[in-house]
Amino acid sequence: MDPVVSAEHLRALRYIALVERGGGRLLDSQIDLYIETEPPSQDTWAVAWHTSRMSRLLVRGGYGLSTHADFMESLGWIRPEKWDGPRLSSIGHAIVRASEEADVAEPEGVVLLSPDDPLNLGVLTAEVAAAKGGALVDPYFDDRLVAWLANSTSIARVLMCRSVEACDALSYYLGGLERAGRKIDFRILPRGSLHDRYLIGEDGKVSMIGASLNGLHRNFTAIIEVPEPGAAAIRGEVDRKWGDALPVTPVADIKAPLPQPHAKEKAVPTQKESPEPRVPNAEGAEPK
């Protein structure tokens, strides 16, 4: 199926929007030139050539752009100055202003989760799913989130705090996942062993989660990417605690039937105990 908007035109539309956001305006010829012009390669011969008179002649003769300066000049981002070097044009200034505003308005690596946002769960799911076969660290992980985690993400490991006695239901959840062909390794540490919540991607990316996942429906929080070298330190600490933690064993076979939830037990009518039969003694007389 062909895309509704070609990649070249989509790229051009983003370029136009960027210039407009910075307060600049483009001519039709400048938009056409942006679509048709390929940026120069990083070949060393082109970099070394850019000061030569022959290079300038080839560019003006239609043999292509040999330098990045030529590329930006041809698009009107910079204007040449005979003695002082190139200067930003109005379009160049607009691009820079819009880029700086975007950096402030949309900081990279920060995802806000508001309980008032109806798309809250969708945003959270996208972030956790982006970790692929990574790990989730949440001291207070709720068993009721197992199905969501299994069906909507590819998370492979979960580290949490809980006593062994409180893992019966979780074991049955994990057993059901295994029967369905999905495996998630859960390990537990004693309560109080973990305090922070992390999402560690399969690619090593580390993010901090402000609140436990089971409280996102009532708490405003954020998922913040941790830069290196902090991310490496967190990965090392999580790996150490994972090695100290106890695995939760999946239970896939329930030998004794469990009562159905919310099922009302039918009252079984009781019969009055009948008196024990009077057995005659050896002489044939009934006992007194």
User: pLDDT value at position 75?
Assistant: 78
233-281 pLDDT, tens per residue? 999 999 999 999 999 999 877 664 444 444 444 444 445 444 555 545 5
73-128 pLDDT, tens per residue? 777 887 777 666 677 788 877 777 776 655 544 456 788 888 887 778 888 898 99
Section 59-80 average pLDDT: 65
User: pLDDT value at position 265?
Assistant: 44
The pLDDT of residue 71 is above 50: yes
Which range among 151-155, 217-221, 257-261 has the greatest average pLDDT?
A: 151-155
Section 199-222 average pLDDT: 87
User: pLDDT value at position 264?
Assistant: 43
Taking each helix axis from N to C terminus, what angle separates 7-21 and 90-105, rounded to the nearest 10 degrees? 90
Section 177-199 average pLDDT: 93
User: pLDDT value at position 171?
Assistant: 92
Section 142-170 average pLDDT: 93
CA–CA dist 52, 283 (Å, integer):
139
